A = this chain, B = another copy of it.
C-alpha cells in the first residue's frame, strides 16, 4: 500500500463542493470514481480543505492509499484521462510517508479572492469572479483588512455550520490590491473557520463601497457576534491556492 499525495486544480462551478454528497456531484467523488476505475480498489481521497459549492482550487492538496503498484507519471496521466469530462486536473502525484495526511499534516492554507470591479458583467470570467459594479476603494479595504490580521476570536466571521473546535484562529496575511479591473484579496492562516474568507471579504466590500469605515472591521471582529456580520461574498471568486506542509 502506497500513500499518494495529489495536487489538484478544479473549477468549482459544477460541483456541490469538495466533499462527497448524496444529492449532487463533488470533486471528491469525481476523483474517487476515477481512482476506482483505474485500480479496481475502493479509495478514499482526503483533502487539505473542504471547499464549498462553487469554490475553485488552483492547487488543492489531497492524499489516497493505493495498493496497486503505480509510477507518479501513470497515476497522474491515468487519473486525468479517467476524471473527464469533470473540470478536474491532477497537476502532480507523488508517494509520501504513511503518516502524511493532507488535512492533519497541513500547517498553512492560502486563498485568493477575485472581485471584478467594473460596470460591465464578466463574459470570460463568469463564475470565476465576484462582480461588483460600484467602484470600490481598494486602499480603504486594505486598511480594513489589516485590522483582522493576528490571533483573534473570529466568531463574527463563522458560519453556523462550522465544525471547528475553537473560533480562535491566527490570520497570518490578509492583503488587498488592485490589479486592473480586479481587486485581489489574499488570505493565509494555519486554518480557517467555515465561510471565514467569504465573510471577511463580504465585509471588506462594504468598506470598499464606503458603507463601512475601515475601523468597522475591528468593531465587527470585537463584537464576537455573527449578527455583526455584514455580507457573505459569493463562492465564485474564491480559489484555494496552496496547502503548506512542514517539509515542503
Contacts and interface: CB of A to CB of B under 8 A. Distances in A.
B11 A123 contact: yes
A246 to B, nearest CB: 25
Interface in A55-92: 56, 58, 76-77, 80, 87-92
Contacts of A77: 119
Contacts of A91: 118, 120
Nearest to A81: B121
Size class of the A contact interface (CB-based, 8 Å)? 20 to 34
A58 B124 contact: yes
A124 B76 contact: no
A120 to B, nearest CB: 5
A151 interface: no
A46 interface: no
A101 interface: no
A150 to B, nearest CB: 32
A32 interface: no
A120 B87 contact: no
Question: Of A77, A88, A120, A126, which is in contact with the most chain B CB atoms at under 10 Å from its CB?
Answer: A120
B90 A120 contact: yes
A154 interface: no
Nearest to A85: B126
Nearest to A89: B123
Contacts of A56: 124
Question: Of A76, A88, A123, A124, which is in contact with the most chain B CB atoms at under 10 Å from its CB?
Answer: A123
Interface of A: 9-11, 56, 58, 76-77, 80, 87-92, 118-124, 126, 128
